């Protein structure tokens, strides 16, 4: 598609107003303006919606996304959308979740290589073996799992509702897959005995709790907000532990002078742009999977409706996996 200089100039100005504080100068914004213009036109033409996880890059979040948030918020958006086409800019299990909730819509993942160290670490067969070993213990799966694993689970959860769902279960012993650190953190907060799978997130597992003490000395009054996928020592040393939306809400409400977000860098970027008067201290890492998406890949799937990027789930798996998601909505509402 061809755009006039005026159209590109005004789109670049729009992008710059959102991303200037994140280091995007007007020239960079002019380079991506034809892409965002075309994507936004194609969205209207095809009645498509773009859901972007908070860990996506600013050009996606501010350039083309219709909704941005965590897995829970985006799965709710996916369940409610009236669009015919969903492009999920996140990782593959998130696009699968959107497809489970919208079996009659076309759902695309811009990059089919965007996996997740947690989702890739456990199979449905592993869950069946755990169930055989611990009969009677219900299985709670983190949303960071494949549809096949969800199909073997009683209920799904996200970092935003794991505590509520697990804490509210009548059983004392619960199987939780696949994040071991999250299992330990939730067990501490709920008093449940959790049988955990041994996997971790490549981004959150390496944060070091000892650095938090040094940051507190250097920045008096700083609030340390930690993702529940972090190691227990990091979670214990922080002021709040939860999902990315919990962190967003905490920052919005707090009048603390500064915040350290112990999670993927995308969230700090977003909040830095949305709360320019608040200070954010760096302690973040990039997720190599999340960063596989790009405006060019989003444009490709919208332009061509690429079959190889369309999410397909066998019906037998989808029916069972959907039940674990529906149970999550029921228990967390």
Instruction: List interacting residues with ligand SF4 (CB under 6 A).
Output: 91, 116-118, 144, 201-203, 229, 264, 287, 289-290
**Nearest distance from residue 135's CB to ligand SF4, in Å?**
29
Cβ neighbours of 45 (radius 10 Å): 9
In angstroms, rounded to a whole number, what is the distance separating the alpha carbons of residues 9 and 231?
46
State in Å, rounded, how far the first CA of the chain is from the last one. Answer: 44
The nearer residue to ligand SF4, 101 or 203, going by C-beta atoms, is 203
The nearer residue to ligand SF4, 83 or 201, going by C-beta atoms, is 201
Cβ-contact 166, 186 below 8 angstroms: yes
Element (H, E) at 271: helix 265-274
**Nearest distance from residue 17's CB to ligand SF4, in Å?**
28
The nearer residue to ligand SF4, 87 or 118, going by C-beta atoms, is 118
DSSP-assigned letters across all residues of 249-261: HHHHH---SEEEE
Residue 261 CB contacts under 8 Å (≥ 6 apart), including other chains: 225, 247, 267, 268, 271, 280, 283, 284
The nearer residue to ligand SF4, 11 or 229, going by C-beta atoms, is 229
Element (H, E) at 51: strand 48-53
**Nearest distance from residue 206's CB to ligand SF4, in Å?**
11
**Nearest distance from residue 235's CB to ligand SF4, in Å?**
15
The nearer residue to ligand SF4, 72 or 289, going by C-beta atoms, is 289
Cβ-contact 264, 287 below 8 angstroms: yes
Helices (H), 196-264: 210-218, 232-236, 244-253
Instruction: Identify any residues that bridge with 69 across adjacent strands, giving them in sequence order.
Output: 53
Cβ-contact 3, 34 below 8 angstroms: yes
**Nearest distance from residue 146's CB to ligand SF4, in Å?**
12
**Nearest distance from residue 223's CB to ligand SF4, in Å?**
21
ω before 129 within 30° of 0 (cis)? no
**Nearest distance from residue 290's CB to ligand SF4, in Å?**
5
**Nearest distance from residue 248's CB to ligand SF4, in Å?**
16
The nearer residue to ligand SF4, 117 or 309, going by C-beta atoms, is 117
* Burial 194-215, CB ≥16 within 10 A → b, else e: bbbbebbbebbbebebeebeeb
The nearer residue to ligand SF4, 181 or 259, going by C-beta atoms, is 181
Q: How many CA atoms lie within 13 A of 52 on its CB side?
A: 25
The nearer residue to ligand SF4, 102 or 144, going by C-beta atoms, is 144
């Amino acid at each position: 598609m061809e755009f006039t200089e005026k159209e590109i100039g005004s789109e670049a100005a729009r992008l710059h107003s959102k991303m200037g504080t994140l280091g995007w100068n007007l020239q960079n914004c002019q380079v991506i303006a034809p892409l965002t213009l075309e994507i936004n036109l194609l969205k209207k033409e095809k009645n498509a919606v773009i859901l972007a996880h908070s860990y996506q890059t600013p050009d996606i979040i501010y350039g083309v996304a219709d909704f941005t948030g965590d897995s829970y918020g985006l799965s709710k958006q996916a369940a409610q959308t009236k669009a015919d086409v969903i492009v999920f800019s996140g990782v593959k299990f998130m696009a699968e979740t959107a497809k489970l909730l919208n079996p009659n819509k076309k759902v695309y993942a811009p990059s089919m290589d965007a996996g997740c160290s947690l989702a890739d670490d456990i199979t449905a067969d592993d869950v069946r073996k755990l169930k055989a070993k611990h009969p009677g213990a219900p299985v709670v799966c983190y949303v960071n799992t494949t549809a096949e694993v969800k199909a073997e689970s009683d209920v799904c959860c996200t970092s935003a509702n794991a505590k509520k769902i697990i804490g509210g279960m009548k059983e004392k012993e619960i199987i939780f897959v696949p994040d071991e650190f999250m299992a330990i953190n939730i067990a501490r907060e709920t008093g449940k005995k959790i049988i955990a799978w041994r996997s971790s997130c490549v981004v959150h597992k390496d944060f070091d709790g000892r650095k938090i003490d040094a940051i507190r000395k250097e920045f008096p009054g700083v609030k340390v907000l930690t993702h529940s996928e972090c190691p227990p020592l990091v979670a214990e040393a922080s002021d709040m532990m939860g999902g990315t939306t919990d962190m967003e809400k905490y920052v919005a409400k707090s009048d603390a002078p500064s915040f350290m977000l112990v999670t993927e860098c995308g969230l700090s970027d977003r909040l830095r742009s949305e709360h320019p008067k608040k200070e954010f201290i760096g302690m973040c890492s990039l997720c190599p999977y999340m960063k596989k998406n790009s405006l060019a890949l989003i444009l490709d799937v919208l332009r061509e409706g690429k079959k190889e990027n369309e999410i397909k789930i066998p019906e037998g798996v989808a029916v069972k996996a959907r039940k674990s998601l529906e149970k999550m909505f029921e228990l967390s509402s």
